[in-house]
Structures are given as structure tokens and as C-alpha cells.
């Protein structure tokens, strides 16, 4: 069971070698310079683009392309992963972290953002 993970009460996760991993932060307000990865389906992005973050670059990489496209991303850049409900962003933020990306967060839905 090499891929088995155990979750503790404090929301820390243990890798197969029992090394603790930090949970990925949920962010409601990106910092200037954070790059937002929008993993929604292209039709969702077209219907509701993330144009309410003028200080942030938004790159659209649908969830089904992110595993392949991740190799072209800079591992030192601060990324926030976004999807409509948070499930795909959580899954893909974990994927990026597991592939060695150092600064990963999840951009959460907020009521006060017009585009959301």
C-alpha cells in the first residue's frame, strides 16, 4: 500500500513514508503577483471569466489538461488554483504540490467578487 495516506485530526496528512504534509491554504484575496490557475471547463470560463483580479495573471488550464501542462509551469511561482465548487481546485492543488511546486493555494469563492 505505497500510496496509502493517513489523515490526522489536525488536518495534517502523512505521506507513505510518514512525513507530514501541510494542508493547502484556502485564500480569498490573492496577493499581488499570485498567478491564478483557472481549472474550470472552457465553457464555464467563457460564461464567467475571472476578470475581477487586476493585479493577478489568470491562466486557464482546464482540469483535464493540468497534469500534462504542469511540466511547463515554474515551480517557484506562487499559484492559486480556482474552480467553481472547490473540488477540482483541491485535487489539482494537491497534484501540483506533489509534483514539487512550492507555493500552492486554493482560491476560494467569495460573494463580494462580481465575477464570481
- Dist. CA 15–CA 5, nearest whole Å: 6
Please answer whether residues 94 and 73 qualify as being in contact, where contact means their C-beta atoms are separated by less than 8 angstroms.
no
Q: C-alpha grid cell for residue 55?
A: 493585479
Given the residues 39, 83, 93, 104, the one annotated as active site: 83
60 is catalytic: no
DSSP code of residue 17: T
Q: C-alpha grid cell for residue 11?
A: 488536518
Cite the beta strand spans of 5-115 per DSSP E: 6-7, 13-14, 20-21, 25-27, 35-38, 57-60, 78-82, 103-107
Number of H helices, E strands in the chain: 3, 8
Which sequence positions are flagged as catalytic?
Answer: 83
Amino acid at each position: 500500500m505505497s500510496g496509502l495516506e493517513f489523515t490526522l485530526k489536525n488536518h495534517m496528512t502523512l505521506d507513505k513514508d510518514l512525513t507530514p504534509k501541510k494542508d493547502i491554504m484556502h485564500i480569498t484575496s490573492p496577493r499581488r503577483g499570485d498567478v491564478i490557475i483557472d481549472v474550470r471547463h472552457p465553457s464555464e470560463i467563457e460564461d464567467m471569466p475571472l476578470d475581477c483580479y487586476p493585479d493577478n495573471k489568470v491562466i486557464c488550464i482546464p482540469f483535464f489538461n493540468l497534469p500534462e501542462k504542469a511540466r511547463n509551469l515554474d515551480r517557484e511561482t506562487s499559484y492559486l488554483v480556482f474552480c467553481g465548487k472547490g473540488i477540482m481546485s483541491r485535487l489539482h492543488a494537491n497534484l501540483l504540490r506533489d509534483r514539487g511546486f512550492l507555493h500552492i493555494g486554493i482560491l476560494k469563492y467569495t460573494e463580494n467578487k462580481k465575477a464570481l
